[in-house]
Amino acid sequence: MKRKFVKVMFFGALALSTVTYVGCKDYDDDIDNLQTQIDANKASIADLQKFVKEGKWVKSVEPITGGFKITFNDGTPYEIVNGAKGETGKDGKEGKSSMVTVDPTTGEWLIDGVKTGWSAKAPYIQDEYWYYWSKEAGKFVKGDKATGEQGGKGPAGANGFSPYIANGTNGDKGYWYFYEPDNKEAIASGDLKGWVKGAFTDATTTLTKVEGKPCWLLTQLDGAKTKEVTLPTADNLVSIKGVAISDDGKISTDGTKEVTLYYGVLKDEVKFGPKDAQNTYSKGKVLTSNNAVINVMVNPVDISLEEYTFTLQNSKGTNTYLELGKPVQNVTLTALTRAENTPNIGIYDLSVKIKDGLSSSVELPQAAYALATKNAWDKTIMSAYDVKVTLSNQNIPELTDHTWSESLICDVPHVLDDLLERAGETNLGYVADYYYTADNVEIKKNAETGKWEILSNIGQSVIVTVHYLTVEGVEKSSTLTIQFKKKLEMVTVDPINWTVTDAKDGKEKKVSLEVIKDLLDKEDYSVVYLSEAALDKTPAETDIDYAVAPVAKAENGGIALSVAKDAKDKKWYLTATFDETKVTATEHTIHLAVKNAKGEDKLGTLLVKGIDLKVNITMPKTPVFVFDRIPGYFSESGKGNIAKAYGTPVAGTSEGEDKVTYDLTRLYTNVTNGMANISYAEDDSEAWKGAQWLQSDVNSVLSLPVGPDNISKAHGLTVSYQPYGNKNLAAISDEFSLTVLSEIAEGTEKGTVSNKYLSNVVREFTLKLTDFVWKDYKGESIVWGSDSENRIKSITLVPSATAAKYMDLDKTDFKKNTSIKVTLKNSVGVILSPESEEKSYIEMKVLDAWGITSTVKIPVPIKNENK
């Protein structure tokens, strides 16, 4: 068969060989050489070319009426359907589209989902001869000597064997051809030797899934011409590299670790497996272990390798002995270099097996291999030659007996392979075949995963026998002991809703337990309160605390539970009694169970029914307490959160400083000092940084040091009411900022005095305290110097700089019943240019008991008069 024939007719190569390269064009060259029009449905190949150049790849293909729909990885849909008049078929009908795939189970070619009877199993080369799958023989048989033209890179390329529709160049136009040389209908000579002529099709556009490469091949017949476009089914792989993962989970990128593959050659025919599904292994068959795994790192790391097929090849480009399984994402219990309990990104496992069909006379070589795969455009990507596979038939490990340490839940399938491994068995991969048997349980192989599963419907101890076939063909066995525990069956009862201290609700609520009446009527059964949900515990954690009914307490004693049969209606009820001083207003889940006093915990018969009782506790819609503010203290008629108050000065002792006190209860009509369940707090954040005002959280009286650091500065405060003194309930709070003010500094009139001046005529005058008018914050006049007026600490008079040029004060400090004489200086003489009043004044400084100094100016004009 000549290569030019394949080049015209080839729809997509299978995984032809693990030993050869095919010279390939570059990615862009393949696309640039595509045709520009698909006539069958007038779809533009340029459109498909554009999608592929943008990095899109085919995510799915599905049949539709008259053709198929391609969906790309970004969600872009593209339909290939019957177009305008296509090429007329043999029956005169209009041409159509056809989709060719492979049945993953039987390996049979499917055309539009219909079986063809033609095998799609990939041929391979051994000893320079082709071996291809024979449906009649049920195995690979020897064919022609492998020859091929020299490719652009590497040794000779191998011909492809995908089915095709003849275009008239060779064979009958419009007929399917399949390659099966052993078929009695196979063509015996010429370019078509080994090919079998199949059914006629009027398809002009064909989409073929290429085996062994990540792509579909879209082909259109246009008379004698064939137009093709390669549509990748995965992102483009850039590089592959063998890595080594040690037993302790450490990864090394210095090449793969050496893999030992155990094998044996059967001296006689062996039958092995369950009675209803035995496998027959013929004499001379080479059996291999399943433990050999190569770890590979790929780039890009987020690529999906499901569509790629990997092979091993030595430096001569050959490998007739070993084959690799499909790549599987590497997962370890601990991290390699990344987060724990996640797949190791960019790392995959490839299992290694000896190929089927090798005879016992074959000498299995020891060699170093490279990992190789092909992308959608037949370009080969290779690793270094650092994959070391050692073949051995000596000292093959065997299985031992194990016990699974934890109880397993009944009624749920469990994977026996995983249980055996986690129980400590590390040698399962060294056997050629295995299966499990046990009494009183169901054991079967999962059709999807291919793994053995076990299921028990009762709590019991089970001894599972692991039957295994060694690679020498000897049947042996070990055991795995498993304890099954019945899962706690849950029943449902009505929820309980209670409003805290709502008079209509009372403090008790009942719920019917008739759903478990049959159990409660028995002598050995009772309801118990669980410390935690039994379903949240694994079956092995058997120490679930429980309290015996009829009385059990939950939620810190805020909910008391009791179970009893009503004397009147003879029905079972659970009663919840609430304590408003301890409950929490939220949704509670209380875990209850029916306990069988004669049951066994390890079998799951001790707790036989579970109840997750929902208890919803809410606060009443009407608040249980409302702070009644006195509007005069608060801004915005009491609704705002800014308050002002005038504290009471308290003189300090020799050990302490002066203070100002204020009772916060004065802000409210319904709060008194020492009132139960009322607490006080001050904001200690940076915004309110300063001295501590509160003496304790239960004392309503503020005590703050005098002075500008505290007086007249806002301070954040919170007064809270704790309903029923229960810290579990949300407090009702009143938050505000309070400013404590000075009654003197906030006075309505300050230091008013009149008719005080100096001149050459009036050369002196006397100032008395009674000369000044000063009113406090209420507008009440201050009686200067009286014994009852203790809000004034000191009064000082200081002339301004201008005034000091013209006058003298005989003293500066005002005392009780004293006066200060102000005299014009003798050196002044005749005043010709008097200073303005604004500059000629006496400054009066009044220090009050709040530690605030109030300063006023007393005008003392210098008049220019001589008479």
Higher pLDDT, 182 or 799: 799
The Cβ-side half-sphere exposure at 412, using a 13 Å CA radius, reads: 11
In a domain, 624, yes or no: no
Q: pLDDT digits over 709-729, tens only?
A: 999 999 999 999 999 999 999
Quick count: other Cβ atoms within 10 Å of Cβ 447? 7
> Which residues partner with 598 through β-bridges?
none
In a domain, 216, yes or no: yes
The C-alpha atoms of residue 386 and residue 241 are separated, in whole angstroms, by: 9
In a domain, 768, yes or no: yes
Higher pLDDT, 707 or 360: 707
Surface-to-core class of residue 446, CB atoms within 10 Å of its CB (0-12 exposed, 13-18 middle, 19+ buried)? exposed
- 182 and 83 in a common domain: yes
In a domain, 524, yes or no: yes
How does residue 131 score in pLDDT terms, banded at 50, 70 and 90? low
In a domain, 623, yes or no: no
How does residue 248 score in pLDDT terms, banded at 50, 70 and 90? low
Coil, strand or helix at 6: helix
- 602 and 501 in a common domain: yes
* Domains of the chain: total: 6
How does residue 35 score in pLDDT terms, banded at 50, 70 and 90? very low
- 285 and 178 in a common domain: no
The C-alpha atoms of residue 430 and residue 262 are separated, in whole angstroms, by: 7
Give the highest mean pLDDT range of 8-17, 106-115, 217-226, 811-820: 811-820
- 761 and 654 in a common domain: no
- 735 and 757 in a common domain: no
Which residues of 211-342 form beta strands (DSSP E)?
A: 215-222, 225-232, 239-245, 251-252, 259-265, 270-272, 279-281, 286-288, 293-299, 310-313, 322-324, 328-331
Note the pLDDT of residue 270: 92
- 193 and 62 in a common domain: yes
- 251 and 373 in a common domain: yes
Q: How far is CA 531 from the centre of its chain?
A: 29
Nearest to 294, CA basis, from 324, 318, 252, 319: 324
- 792 and 673 in a common domain: no
- Inter-CA distances, 524 with 517, 520, 829, Å: 13, 8, 121
Residue recorded with tokens 């608040």: 623
Nearest to 738, CA basis, from 698, 696, 701: 701
How does residue 19 score in pLDDT terms, banded at 50, 70 and 90? very low
> Which residues partner with 343 through β-bridges?
331
Q: Model pTM?
A: 0.54
Note the pLDDT of residue 126: 55
Domain final position from 174, 206, 232: 232
CATH of the domain at 520: 2.60.40
Q: Is the pLDDT of residue 457 over 50?
A: yes
> Which residues, including other chains, have CB under 8 Å from residue 330's CB and lie 6 or more apart?
245, 295, 343, 344, 347, 348, 349
- Inter-CA distances, 21 with 30, 33, 145, 445, 457, Å: 17, 22, 17, 39, 55
The Cβ-side half-sphere exposure at 65, using a 13 Å CA radius, reads: 0
The fraction of the chain above a pLDDT of 90, given in percent, is 30
> Which residues partner with 589 through β-bridges?
614
- 409 and 386 in a common domain: no
In a domain, 186, yes or no: yes
Domain range enclosing 365: 239-392
> Which residues, including other chains, have CB under 8 Å from residue 290's CB and lie 6 or more apart?
351, 353, 428, 429, 430, 431, 432
Give the H/E segment covering residue 132.
Answer: strand 129-134
In a domain, 626, yes or no: no
- DSSP label at residue 486: P
Domain final position from 232, 262, 297: 232
- 493 and 479 in a common domain: no
Nearest to 388, CA basis, from 256, 293, 290, 240: 256
CATH of the domain at 779: 2.60.40.10
How does residue 680 score in pLDDT terms, banded at 50, 70 and 90? very high
Residue recorded with tokens 């004060």: 809
Give exposure, 463-490, as e/b (b: 16+ Cβ within 10 Å).
ebebbbbbbbbeeeebebebbbbbbbee
Higher pLDDT, 342 or 542: 342
Quick count: other Cβ atoms within 10 Å of Cβ 832? 6
Note the pLDDT of residue 349: 84
- 354 and 449 in a common domain: no
Domain final position from 485, 516, 541: 485
- DSSP label at residue 290: S
Q: How far is CA 288 from the centre of its chain?
A: 41
In a domain, 867, yes or no: no
- DSSP label at residue 157: P
Q: How far is CA 592 from the centre of its chain?
A: 32
- 15 and 158 in a common domain: yes
Q: pLDDT digits over 394-407, tens only?
A: 888 899 999 988 88
